[in-house]
Structure formats: structure tokens, C-alpha cells
């Protein structure tokens, strides 16, 4: 008992340091777990490919869910600059879902859809003879809570530019799919 009375200050100091360290670890764990579980993070991937069977090009889009919660989708679509085009009904049709169904991105899963050349030109191309420039092309998703998520799809933008250039009758040396690296080699 005498030792405790003589070293009470040291004991209180060590105990206080241990409590502060444990509190800091608890706060760090709280924020780390909140960011892993509570925050819904969607990632977007868009690329174009050519079908081996038909030789036609198409655009593939993937919306991935990085969180541990399922995300209900209210609307999915493409944005060309400030112009938005909803693809929700087209997705439901291609996925054989009822017209009132809400698509869902499962936890740690993804939602994918494909657009053919014709569909891509119809959706993002010029209307009624107008020349609409291809601006920053983005895939967007609005979840059932109303949160907007969006991501750039540069490869699909290149495909769209190539399709519109072909439609306008540009020559192959003006092909937007060629990169600067391919021209210098």
C-alpha cells in the first residue's frame, strides 16, 4: 500500500496514457468501419469492343458496388456534357425485368449492360440534323435515396466520336479511334 501511495502520480499518468491511446484506436476503428460499411461507393467502367462473330462494335458498361450494402437503382443513364439520357427502361428490357422493377447492385457485385452501335448513336448522336458535339461522356446512377453517382467513360466517348465521324463521311486518316501513339509508330 505504501508503494501505491508513493507512486500514485506515475500510475495515474500511465493509466491516462493508456486510456488516450485506446480512445484514439476506437475513434480510428469507428471511422474506418463507417467508411467501409456505411458509405456506398459505386465505380464505373466503360469500354468498347468488336464482336468476333459479327464484326460490329459495341459499348459495355459496368457499375460496381464497393460497399457492403446493396444499392437500389432508381435511374441509370448516360450524360453527354449536361444532357442526360436515361437508360433505365432499356436496361430493364435487356435484363428481362418488369417495367416497375428497380435494378439492384448487390454488395461487392456489379451491374452490366451493353449498347450496340445503333443504340449508342441513337442515344447520344445528333438529333434532327443538328450537329451535337461529344463532350465529357459519363455513366450516372441515381440510387433510391436520391444520391447521384457518376463516372467518366472515355473509351466509349472515342467509339461514339468514331461512329459519328463515319456517319459524317470522314476519311480513315481522320479516325478518332487512332491515338497519337499509333500515328507516330
pLDDT confidence of residue 128: 54
Verify that 24 and 92 share a domain, yes or no.
no
Is the pLDDT at 50 greater than 60? The verdict is yes
Q: Which three cell numbers stand for residue 159?
A: 467509339
Give the pLDDT band (50/70/90) at residue 2: confident
CATH number of the domain that residue 134 is part of = 2.60.40
In a domain, 183, yes or no: no
Same domain (yes/no): 128, 61: yes
Answer whether residue 169 is part of any domain. yes
Task: Calculate the average pLDDT of the chain.
Answer: 80
Does residue 114 sit within a domain? yes
pLDDT digits 0-9 by tens, 10-21: 999 999 999 999
25 and 6 housed in the same domain: yes
Band (pLDDT 50/70/90 cuts) for residue 118 is confident
Higher pLDDT, 18 or 106: 18
Asked if residue 148 belongs to a domain, the reply is yes
CA distance linking residue 9 with residue 106, whole number of Å: 55
With a pLDDT cut of 70, the percent of the chain lying above it is 83
What's 39-88 look like in SS3?
CCCEEEEEEEEECCCCCCEEEEEEEEECCCCCEEEEEEEEEECCEEEECH
Burial label for 57, CB within 10 Å (0-12, 13-18, 19+), is: middle
Alpha-helix residue ranges (DSSP H) falling in 50-111: 88-94
> Do 122 and 62 have their domain in common?
yes
The 10s digit of each residue's pLDDT in 126-181 is 655 555 567 778 889 998 888 888 888 888 888 888 877 777 776 544 545 555 54
Query: Among the residues of the chain, which ranges form H helices?
Result: 2-6, 8-37, 88-94, 117-124, 154-168, 180-184
**Domain check: are 32 and 91 in the same one?**
no
- For residues 90 and 65, membership in a common domain is answered with yes
Residue 138 belongs to domain spanning: 42-177
Model pLDDT for residues 120-131, shown as the tens digit of each residue: 877 776 655 555
Residue 172: its pLDDT value, please?
A: 47
Residue 185: pLDDT over 50: no
What is the predicted pLDDT for the residue at 25? 96
Amino acid at each position: 500500500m505504501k508503494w501505491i501511495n508513493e507512486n500514485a502520480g506515475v500510475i495515474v499518468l500511465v493509466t491516462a496514457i493508456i486510456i488516450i491511446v485506446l480512445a484514439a484506436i476506437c475513434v480510428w476503428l469507428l471511422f474506418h468501419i463507417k467508411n467501409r460499411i456505411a458509405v456506398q461507393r459505386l465505380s464505373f467502367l466503360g469500354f468498347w469492343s468488336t464482336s468476333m462473330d459479327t464484326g460490329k462494335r459495341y459499348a459495355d458498361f459496368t457499375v460496381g458496388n464497393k460497399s457492403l450494402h446493396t444499392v437500389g437503382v432508381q435511374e441509370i443513364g448516360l450524360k453527354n456534357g449536361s444532357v442526360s439520357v436515361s437508360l433505365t427502361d432499356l436496361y430493364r428490357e435487356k435484363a428481362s425485368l418488369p417495367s416497375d422493377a428497380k435494378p439492384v447492385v448487390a454488395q461487392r457485385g456489379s451491374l452490366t449492360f451493353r449498347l450496340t452501335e445503333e443504340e449508342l448513336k441513337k442515344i447520344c448522336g445528333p438529333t434532327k440534323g443538328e450537329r451535337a458535339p461529344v463532350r465529357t461522356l459519363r455513366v450516372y446512377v441515381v440510387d433510391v435515396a436520391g444520391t447521384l453517382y457518376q463516372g467518366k467513360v472515355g473509351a466509349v466517348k472515342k467509339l461514339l466520336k468514331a461512329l459519328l465521324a463515319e456517319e459524317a463521311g470522314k476519311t480513315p486518316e481522320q479516325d478518332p479511334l487512332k491515338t497519337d501513339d499509333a500515328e507516330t509508330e
